[in-house]
Amino acid sequence: MQPRDIILTLIGPVLTAWVAAIVVRRRVHREFPFFFAYLVLSVIFPMIRLAVSGTYTTFFIVFWATETIYAVFALLVMFEVFHEVFLPFYMLWRWFRFLFPGAALLIVLSSIHYIHYPLHISRPMEIVFAFFTAVNCMEALLFGLFFALVLLLGVPWRSYPFAIVEGFGIAALGALIAYGLRSEFGTKYNTFAKYAPPVAYGIGILVWLDSFLRAPDPEVVHAWREQVTPQQLLAHAREYRRVLKGILGRQDD
């Protein structure tokens, strides 16, 4: 490993360990256990990678094995936060419990079928890449959904669920942009593709730090639980529909 690679490898676990300690102090680990597990793994795995970095074959196996575990836990975290925020929907509609896993499965299958991977990689690695792409897409889409809720419902964005999704969303966008450029333009963007994902993930960690360093605000939690409900969303949908019909009606005149 080059010195800058070692620095990037060490900075991430240090900051992540700080986030994990704050999460325990705030007792958020009880509400989001998969998120806490992801943080712990993000401290341990880089140390394992660094320990085997001297042997290419071993490092290759360890890297992709740990990346796969990362992706699985990231998906579990997204489901965990989604379930927490949209719990009233689960209680009201039985079919809603299939929405998140169904969307994840659809994105995975679409990634396998439509995305073109380098010709030299094996079919198992294609499936692994497809899974990574699907998880990154889920993270980006969930971040977009939460951002839309903040804009449409006016709920506070300084909340723990939004911060978790925001951090993953930033990391996912960095990875998707890096892969897109590498896939479209080849080795010309090798350096960017190599360092953009860890830098984006580092920004995500800083977002988590900024959020969890703040004491939980009961009013913020109350706002999310009261406003992100089927009734509130239906009322807003009707209001936007009424406004849209008024605009279109004026245009027809």
CATH of the domain at 211: 1.20.1070
User: What is the mean pLDDT of the segment spanning 43-47?
Assistant: 92
Lowest mean pLDDT among 63-77, 96-110, 202-216, 218-232: 218-232
Tokens standing for 169? 């969303």
With 70 as the cut, is the pLDDT of residue 34 above it? Answer: yes
CA pair distance 126, 110, nearest whole angstrom: 12
Q: Which tens digits make up the pLDDT trace of 127-137?
A: 777 788 888 88
Determine the Cα–Cα distance for residues 253 and 251; give it in Å rounded to an integer: 5
Q: What average pLDDT does the segment 203-218 reach?
A: 86
Q: Under a CB-based contact definition with an 8 Å cutoff, are residues 13 and 42 in contact?
A: yes
Answer yes or no: are the C-beta atoms of 209 and 22 closer than 8 Å.
yes
Write down the pLDDT at residue 96: 82
Give residue 102's domain range: 3-252
41: its two tokens: 């793994």
pTM of the model as a whole? 0.81
DSSP3 helix / strand / coil % (the chain, rounded to 5): 85, 0, 15
- Confidence grade of residue 103 (pLDDT, cut at 50, 70, 90): confident
Find out whether 38 and 16 touch, Cβ atoms under 8 Å: no
pLDDT for the residue numbered 132: 81
Those residues whose C-beta lies under 8 Å from the C-beta of residue 189, and which sit 6 or more positions away, are 178, 181, 182
User: Total domain count for the chain?
Assistant: 1
The whole-angstrom separation of Cα 132 and Cα 123 is 14
pLDDT band at 80 (very low <50, low <70, confident <90, very high): very high
pLDDT attached to residue 22: 94
